[in-house]
Structure 1
Amino acid sequence: MTRLGFLVRFTRGHRLWILAGLALAMVTALANVVLLAVSGWFITGMALAGAAGASFNYFLPSAVIRGCAILRAGGRYAERLVTHEAILRLIGRTRADLFAHLSRRSPQDPVFPRGADAATRLGSDLETLQGAVLSLFSPIVVALVIALAVIVHTAGIAPPVAVVVALGLAVGGGAVPVGLAFAGRRPGREAITARAALAMGLADVVEGRDEVFAFGALARTQAALTARDAALRQARRRAAHQDSLGLALLPVTAHVTLWAVVVAGAPLVIGGTLAPDALVMLAFLGFAAFDPLSPLPQALQRVGAVTAALDRVRALAGPTPKASPPDARTEPRGEPAPIRLTRVTARWPGASRPTLEDVSLTLAPGDRLGLVGASGAGKSSIVSILAGDLRPDTGTIEGTTGLRLAVAPQTPVLLSETLRHNLTLGDPAVTEVALRDALATAGLVDWLAALPLGLDEPLGRGGRPLSGGEARRLGIARALLSPAPVLVLDEPGEGLDPAAEAAVLDRVLATAEARRQAVVLITHRPAGLDRMDTVLYLDGGRVLEAGNPWALTRTEGPFRHFLERCAV
């Protein structure tokens, strides 16, 4: 998706609010310009009338001044109210949409943003885009409209003066901001990148503090964080210097333009073609036109930061793998049809080599499939293919249309919430009996009985801490509560003693058999493979051997060698 396309989608549903805020900003800026111009003309006219002893109607200009002052104050308040309401609604909806999009992407994807990086994109980077609408888009449009209106109005009264005003506005609203924008692109991008790097570094240290202390890496870690913090401060310092330069150049340009208008209009006053009070009005009009330009230097300087933040947020809304590949066939309702992968080759986006190569398998309802191999062999990638998170480059897939998987991951995500809330994430309507049955199947009956609040016991931070084995069995219980036709067990017995592991696996397989659920067991150990109908031994994304585990043990091959190594 292009930047423009993302911005169009970003503002969808809230454009009327944004346009209303833009209209109010224009009205406010116009009221400010008219207020200053009429005030200058009014004071000068009163002075000239007093010196000449002539009468002067001050009621109309007084009313205009009072009306513009009220309109400026009220318009500014209304503009802020409407614009911030639009932005807050927009950010809230976009953050929810991006989070939902992120949740549909596979964590196995190499370009999947990790914890602190994803949080920074959904937080600080999205807020930077919010600032872009408030301090970049709106000021540019308002400044352009007001500048053109002032130039056209001045040209209708005194064309030579209009040329001076146009040149001044071109310098103050064009050359200065654009020059600062080019100069600020690099610091802005560096600040966004450094901010994300610092956030990820801090999160890594907090999450891995035990390892940092255990390996004596505290000094090295502190030095790395200090370097990242210094890079962020340096980028922000350069941006601040350019901010200061913009704040200085624009007022200087405005005052030079003011006196240039007086000099250009003086011959017209002397020649009698322009009244003195009209010249003062034009001078103040040109001077007031710089007020809407004042946000431009800082706004355009933020272009680098905004585009960097836009690219990072836009990456979250990148293409999500569809639930089923193009050649998947729609299956009839009832018992799911067998799942077939035929010579499938696939790679993750950005990967240099295939993560799976020439893989074939069949998984019918009630089947038990074991995926065995070292880390990185391609076991999780097969599950990603079944879930639709990874699409094949070649080969065919059948039976995965609308397929749901119940996954018990090796490291389940458990929220800092009650036990009941964590178990019912997939289905809030699950009964208490079903919850207790699932916990019993996962071998957590005694553990549940020891909880003071039972199913309402809080877990995580501020609640009951969990060991790795307890968390893994909670993940199994949560997966058992799903009616999905395929149950995926990722290292279900890791951290358990052999007897407990065998008991848990026996109960889980018995439950799956009663439901006619297919079971996929992911492991790098022999435990549980003897209960599988078929075993695939993977290495480097290829299936080196496939078949019944008992038959494979009787032949010389990779699976038998694997069992012998584990026995030794």
Structure 2
Amino acid sequence: MTPNSRSALVPRSWLAVHAASQRGWLSLAAIAGVAVGALTIAQMTLLAWIVSRLLVSGDSLAALSWAFFALIGVLIARALCHWGQEVAGQEASLRIRQSIRGELLDHLAAMGPVRAGSRHTGGLASQLVEQVEALDGYFARFLPQLRLSVAIPLLVLVVVFWLDWLAALFLLLAAPLIPLFMALVGMGAERLNREQFAAVSRLSGHFLDRVRGIATLQLFHRTREASVEVHEAADRYRRLSMRTLRVAFLSSAVLEFFASVAIAVVAIYVGFGLLGYIDFGPAEELTLFSGLLVLLLAPEFFQPLRTLAQHYHDRAAALGAADGMLALLGEPLRTAVGPNEQPLPADRLVALTDVALAHPGRGRVLGPLSVAVAAGETLVVSGPSGAGKSALLQLLAGFVTPDEGERRTQAGLNIAWMDQRPVLIHGSLADNLRLAAPEASDTDLQAALECAGLAELVAALPQGIDTRLGERGAGLSGGQAQRLALARVFLSSADLVLLDEPTASLDEETEARVIESLRRLVEEGRTLVISTHHPALMAMASRRLVIEAGRFSHELTEGRGYE
């Protein structure tokens, strides 16, 4: 399913498409539910027959022992069918949720780290976890129950009609009230659930922002104001959740009222019929068996509808969650437009031809321009801030797709990326290094740290490479984080290394160590593309491109030269 086709779907249709993919499990859940309903009718029939034989015919308990054993067998079979219904519904729900979560992750991967990074991680986490999990009740319970709410009442109605057509008429007249009220309540519940999911996504992002910036807030003595803001946001979410629960409880109370009134009407009819106060229609033919069975089946006639009403809020929650997920899936993916791809010369690693790139709200930020990176060269891109240096590196890395032109690379090209804010995970130093080479040995890690100038620092730590880092590299200075990222580059087998302002915000001593590490990469024969203003890094260049307003203004060839 393409992003354009997804954007054309409404949440209900999108959920139906995914439900169709697990039609087998959902049908099995419905069949098991119908079996539960049929066994319930058998159970009530046996109970009414046993009571009738005991009170009217005067049979002994011993004479009815087979009926009691049959009743026990029906109860066991009913429990097994109910278990099968739950298992089948949960299996369908699990598979659909896995599929939807995979669809969201695939779409985020297709968007690339730049466009996906523009969305708040807290909101994305909420969509991938909470909103996907909110679909569970809809697929596991609501959809199977939707079929059962038609099949089982019809089955009960047939049996009651056979016993007493007037009692069946009472049930038939009362039945439409419950679905009608569910539809009216569902309109408001769906809107409330949509607002609730939007609120929890905002709250997740709001709280995450404050946690990440706690050091800055403490520095400027703004922690109290931040706490008040988080409290107010949480209180808004609480009030919205209580509104949703209020609608749920109110609707359940009203539905129970309608069902109770209908059952009471049937009970009054049966009671007066058995007492002989009603002498028209089939009332004169009522017996203890038929009257008791009608009374026992009346609640079972409404039970599937009442259960559906309980799960109707699962539907509202699913529609609210699907609305947010479709907004993400509906974001169009860029498709490169350009000439037919031609083979790249063997001495070139990556080439951009007449590429242009635009960002929402900013217009065109780069191009049209063309550039090719040769194997073994050190290409430095310089220019004023906002000229498009980072956008150029992102295009070379393949993080974004150009709006115009084409990007070509050598087959099997390995690329390493490092910017001024390297990504570090919560784990040990070794865990962070092995992101680049999962199978690397401790010896390989030590060699990479030595190349990056971190060996002495790590050796001085009590736990060495097993030292734990906090979230986002807490425990390391900015320069140490940069050198740890460089160690990952040494550890990788990347043919092309892209560095975006690798010495930004570093002190002189740390800058010198980072530059020395980059020189080692050059000595290894790696191909480097560096975006920088730093004179020492510019001096390393075999070729230098100056970019202004998204286009190359001129090219300088230095050192080893580039033709």
What TM-score does the superposition give when structure 1 sets the normalisation length? 0.82
Letter of the 1:528 partner, please give it. L
Q: Distance in 2 between matches of 1:530 and 1:107?
A: 31
Q: Distance in 1 between matches of 2:254 and 2:56?
A: 34
Percentage of identical aligned residues: 25
2:3 counterpart residue number: none
Q: Distance in 2 between matches of 1:532 and 1:219?
A: 50
Instruction: Give ranges in structure 1 of 5+ residues lacking alignment.
Output: 552-568
Aligned to 1:546, which of 543, 550, 554? 554
2:122 counterpart residue number: 116
Q: Equivalent residue of 2:407, what SS?
A: strand
Contact 2:348 2:372 in 1 (8 A): no
Contact 2:351 2:372 in 1 (8 A): yes
Give the superposition deviation at 1:184. Answer: 0.7
1:561 counterpart residue number: none
Alignment of 1:43 onto 2:54: no
1:207-222 to 2 correspondences below 5 Å: 207-222=212-227
> What value does the CA root-mean-square deviation take over the aligned residues?
3.8
Change (3 A) 1:137 1:400: farther
Give the superposition deviation at 1:67. Answer: 2.8
1:75-474 to 2 correspondences below 5 Å: 75-81=81-87, 83-84=89-90, 87=93, 91=97, 95=101, 98-99=104-105, 102=108, 105-109=111-115, 112-156=118-162, 158-172=164-178, 174-261=179-266, 266=273, 267-272=280-285, 275=287, 277-314=289-326, 329=341, 331=343, 335=346, 337-348=348-359, 351=361, 353-373=363-383, 376-399=386-409, 403-460=413-470, 465-474=475-484
1:473-492 to 2 correspondences below 5 Å: 473-492=483-502
Write out per-residue CA displacement over residues 438-472 of structure 1, whole angstroms, 9 at most, x where no aligned residue: 22222212212223333333333699811111111
Q: Distance in 1 between matches of 2:330 and 2:420?
A: 27
Letter of the 1:518 partner, please give it. T
Change (3 A) 1:29 1:212: farther
Deviates more, 1:205-214 or 1:457-466: 457-466
Letter of the 1:457 partner, please give it. T
Letter of the 2:404 partner, please give it. T
Change (3 A) 1:139 1:417: same
Give the superposition deviation at 1:101. Answer: 5.6
Change (3 A) 1:72 1:377: farther
Contact 1:370 1:520 in 2 (8 A): yes
Change (3 A) 1:355 1:77: same
In the comparison of the two structures, how many residue pairs are matched?
543
Write out per-residue CA displacement over residues 74-102 of structure 1, whole angstroms, 9 at most, x where no aligned residue: 43345445544664566567656755664
Contact 1:328 1:398 in 2 (8 A): no
Change (3 A) 1:122 1:549: same
2:532 counterpart residue number: 523
Contact 1:372 1:524 in 2 (8 A): yes
Give the superposition deviation at 1:187. Answer: 1.5
1:566 counterpart residue number: none
Contact 1:41 1:277 in 2 (8 A): yes
Deviates more, 1:75-84 or 1:132-141: 75-84
Give the superposition deviation at 1:379. Answer: 2.8
Give the superposition deviation at 1:181. Answer: 0.7
Give the superposition deviation at 1:376. Answer: 4.6
Change (3 A) 1:363 1:26: same
Give the superposition deviation at 1:208. Answer: 0.8
Q: Distance in 1 between matches of 2:96 and 2:56?
A: 53
Give the superposition deviation at 1:198. Answer: 1.7
Deviates more, 1:198-207 or 1:447-456: 447-456
What TM-score does the superposition give when structure 2 sets the normalisation length? 0.83
Give the superposition deviation at 1:175. Answer: 1.1
Q: Distance in 2 between matches of 1:425 and 1:325?
A: 33
Give the superposition deviation at 1:59. Answer: 5.5
Contact 1:535 1:547 in 2 (8 A): yes
Give the superposition deviation at 1:57. Answer: 7.8
Write out per-residue CA displacement over residues 244-279 of structure 1, whole angstroms, 9 at most, x where no aligned residue: 12221222222222244456775333454x655324
Q: Equivalent residue of 2:469, what SS?
A: coil
Give the superposition deviation at 1:498. Answer: 3.4
Write out per-residue CA displacement over residues 335-367 of structure 1, whole angstroms, 9 at most, x where no aligned residue: 56343222212235x556234332322212123
Q: Distance in 1 between matches of 2:485 and 2:193?
A: 43
Deviates more, 1:54-63 or 1:355-364: 54-63
Contact 1:181 1:302 in 2 (8 A): no
Q: Distance in 2 between matches of 1:87 and 1:336?
A: 52
Q: Equivalent residue of 1:470, what SS?
A: helix
Q: Distance in 2 between matches of 1:401 and 1:387?
A: 14
Deviates more, 1:310-319 or 1:477-486: 310-319
Deviates more, 1:252-261 or 1:318-327: 318-327
Give the superposition deviation at 1:280. Answer: 3.6
2:276 counterpart residue number: none
Change (3 A) 1:168 1:513: farther
Letter of the 1:117 partner, please give it. G
Give the superposition deviation at 1:109. Answer: 0.8
Instruction: Give ranges in structure 2 of 5+ residues lacking alignment.
Output: 1-5, 274-279
Q: Equivalent residue of 1:366, what SS?
A: coil
Write out per-residue CA displacement over residues 358-384 of structure 1, whole angstroms, 9 at most, x where no aligned residue: 232221212322233455543333233
Change (3 A) 1:466 1:86: farther
Change (3 A) 1:337 1:549: closer
Change (3 A) 1:212 1:169: same
Q: Distance in 2 between matches of 1:201 and 1:175?
A: 40
